[in-house]
Amino acid sequence: MLQGWVVVATSFAYLGLLFAIAYYADRRADAGRSLIANPYIYSLSLAVYATAWTFYGSVGRAASDGVGFLPIYIGPTLMIALWWVVMRKILRISKDNRITSLADFIASRYGKSALLGGVVTVIAVIGIVPYISLQLKAVSNSFTIVLQYPAIVMPAKVGAVPMLQDTALWVALSLALFTILFGTRHLYSAERHEGMVAAIAFESLVKLLAFVAVGVFVTFGIYDGFGDVFARAAADPELRPLLTPLEGVAGGYASWVWLTILSMLAILFLPRQFQVTVIENVREEHLKKAIWLFPLYMLAINVFVLPIAFGGRLHFPGGVVDADTFVLSIPMAERQELLALLVFIGGLSAATGMVIVETIALSTMVCNDLLMPVLLRLKSLRLNDRADLTGLLLGIRRGAILLIVLLGYLYFRLAGDAYALVSIGLISFAAVAQFAPVVLGGIFWKGGTRRGALAALVAGFAIWFYTLLLPALARSGWLPIGLLEQGPFGIALLRPLQLFGLAGLDQITHAMLWSMIANLGAYVMVSLSGTQSAEEHRQASVFVDVFRRSPEGGGARFWRGTASATDLHHLLARFLGAAAADAAFRDHAKRKGLSWPTQPLTADADFVHHVETQLAGAIGASSARIMVASAVKEEALTLEEVRRIVDEASQVVMYSHQLEQKSRELEAASSELRAANERLKELDRLKDDFLSTVTHELRTPLTSIRSFGEILARDPKVDLAQRRRFLGIIAKETGRLTRLIDQVLDLAKIESGRTDWTETAVDLREVIGDSVAAMSQVLQEKKVRVEVHLPEQITPVRVDLDRIFQVLLNLLSNAVKFCNPQDRRIEVTLAERDGWLRVEVCDNGSGVRPADEKSIFDKFVQAGDTLTDKPQGSGLGLYICRHIVEHHGGRIWVQRAPAGGACFAFTLPIERGAPIHQP
Amino acid sequence: MHGFEKKGQRMIALCMLGCVLFNFPILALFNVPGLLFGVPVLYAYIFITWALLIALMARVAEKRD
Is residue A789 within 8 A of residue A828, CB to CB? The reply is yes
State residue A867's pLDDT score: 46
Chain B residues close to A287, C-beta within 8 Å: 61
Give the length of chain A.
919
Residues 6+ apart with CB under 8 A from A462: A518
Is residue A113 within 8 A of residue A455, CB to CB? The reply is no
CA distance B60 to chain A (A): 9
> Which residue of A lies nearest to B19 if distances are taken between CA atoms?
A78
CA–CA separation, A327 and A347 (whole Å): 9
CB contact residues (below 8 A), chain A span 537-556, against chain B: 547
Asked if A4-448 and A756-909 have one fold, the answer is no
Cα A603–Cα A608–Cα A613 angle in degrees, nearest 5? 150
Residue ranges, chain A, pLDDT below 70: 1-2, 155-165, 185-192, 245-251, 379-388, 416-421, 549-563, 603, 631-649, 860-874, 912-919
Q: Exposed, middle or buried: residue B17 (CB in 10 Å: 0-12, 13-18, 19+)? A: middle
Separation in Å, CA A597 to CA A569, A580, A582, A589, A613: 11, 14, 9, 9, 21
Bridge partners, residue A840, by sequence: A829, A905
Strands in A173-279 per DSSP E: none
Q: Are strands A785-789 and A825-833 parallel, antiparallel or unpaired?
A: parallel
Q: Does A246 touch chain B (CB under 8 A)?
A: yes
Cα A582–Cα A583–Cα A585 angle in degrees, nearest 5? 65
Is residue A257 within 8 A of residue B28, CB to CB? The reply is no
State residue B52's pLDDT score: 95
CA distance B7 to chain A (A): 8
CA–CA separation, A145 and A149 (whole Å): 7
Chain B residues close to A226, C-beta within 8 Å: 37-39
CATH number of A756-909: 3.30.565.10
Site from A77, A93, A255, A259 to mutate, B interface, most B CB atoms within 10 angstroms? A77
CB contact under 8 A, B61 and A84: yes
Closest CA to A611 of A647, A662, A568, A670: A568
Closest CA to A330 of A156, A214, A231, A213: A214
CB contact under 8 A, A289 and B61: yes
Q: Does B22 touch chain A (CB under 8 A)?
A: yes
Site from A84, A86, A261, A301 to mutate, B interface, most B CB atoms within 10 angstroms? A84
CA–CA separation, A319 and A312 (whole Å): 10
Is residue A298 within 8 A of residue A49, CB to CB? The reply is yes
Chain B residues close to A80, C-beta within 8 Å: 57
Peptide bond before A76: cis, by omega within 30 degrees of 0?
no
Separation in Å, CA B2 to CA A40, A90, A95, A427: 26, 16, 19, 39
Q: ipTM of the predicted structure? A: 0.94
- Option in A81, A225, A240 nearest B15 (CB): A81
Chain B residues close to A291, C-beta within 8 Å: 11, 57-58, 61
CA distance A292 to chain B (A): 5
pLDDT digits (tens, 9 = 90+) for A311-352: 888 888 877 788 888 888 888 888 888 899 999 999 999 998
CA distance B45 to chain A (A): 12
Q: Does B14 touch chain A (CB under 8 A)?
A: yes
Q: Chain A to chain B, count of Cβ pairs less than 8 Å apart? A: 115
Chain B residues close to A306, C-beta within 8 Å: 43
Is residue A800 within 8 A of residue A759, CB to CB? The reply is yes
Residues 6+ apart with CB under 8 A from A793: none
Q: Does B3 touch chain A (CB under 8 A)?
A: no
Q: Cα A751 vs. chain centroid, distance in angstroms?
A: 64
CB contact under 8 A, B46 and A74: yes
CA–CA separation, A574 and A836 (whole Å): 97
CA distance B20 to chain A (A): 11
Backbone angles phi, psi at B36, to 5 degrees: -125, 120
CB contact under 8 A, A227 and B43: no
Number of other CB atoms surrounding residue A154 within 10 Å: 16
Q: Does B48 touch chain A (CB under 8 A)?
A: no
- Option in A246, A299, A547 nearest B1 (CB): A547
Q: Cα A668 vs. chain centroid, distance in angstroms?
A: 37
Residue ranges, chain B, pLDDT below 70: 1-4, 65
State residue A427's pLDDT score: 87
Which 8-state DSSP code applies to residue A916? P
CB contact under 8 A, A77 and B38: no
Tell me the DSSP string of A65-117: HSGGGTHHHHHHHHHHHTTTTHHHHHHHHHHHHT--SHHHHHHHHTTS-HHHH
Q: Does B64 touch chain A (CB under 8 A)?
A: no
> Which residue of B lies nearest to A80 if distances are taken between CA atoms?
B15
Chain A residues close to B22, C-beta within 8 Å: 74, 78, 260
Site from A90, A244, A293 to mutate, B interface, most B CB atoms within 10 angstroms? A244
Closest CA to A813 of A868, A877, A766: A877
Query: Hey, what CATH topology would domain A4-448 get?
Result: Sodium/glucose cotransporter (1.20.1730)
CA–CA separation, A121 and A118 (whole Å): 5
Residues 6+ apart with CB under 8 A from A357: A48, A196, A200, A272, A275, A276
Is residue A37 within 8 A of residue A262, CB to CB? The reply is no
Which 8-state DSSP code applies to residue A600? P
Exposure string over A770-796, b if 16+ CB within 10 A, otherwise e = ebbeebeeebeeeebebeeebeeebee
Identify the domain containing residue B10 by its residue range: 5-62
Q: What residue ranges do the domains of chain A occupy?
A: 4-448, 551-633, 662-723, 756-909
Residues 6+ apart with CB under 8 A from A654: none
Q: Does B7 touch chain A (CB under 8 A)?
A: yes
Question: What is the largest distance, in Å, between two alpha-carbon atoms of chain A?
Answer: 168
Question: What is the largest distance, in Å, between two alpha-carbon atoms of chain B?
Answer: 49
Q: Does B65 touch chain A (CB under 8 A)?
A: no
Q: Are strands A836-843 and A902-909 parallel, antiparallel or unpaired?
A: antiparallel
State residue A217's pLDDT score: 92
Cα A226–Cα A228–Cα A231 angle in degrees, nearest 5? 105
Separation in Å, CA A570 to CA A224, A574, A760, B16: 70, 6, 93, 53
CA distance A231 to chain B (A): 7
Separation in Å, CA A478 to CA A120, A127, A415, A431, B65: 26, 18, 8, 21, 58
Site from B11, B26, B27, B60 to mutate, A interface, most A CB atoms within 10 angstroms? B11
CA–CA separation, A514 and A516 (whole Å): 6
Our count of domains for chain B comes to 1
Chain A residues close to B14, C-beta within 8 Å: 81
CB contact residues (below 8 A), chain A span 266-305, against chain B: 287-289, 291-292, 295-296, 299, 303
- Option in B11, B28, B42 nearest A81 (CB): B11
Separation in Å, CA A65 to CA A72, A245, A250, A310, A617: 13, 7, 5, 11, 45
CA–CA separation, A661 and A658 (whole Å): 5
CA–CA separation, A67 and A372 (whole Å): 45
Q: Does A43 touch chain B (CB under 8 A)?
A: no
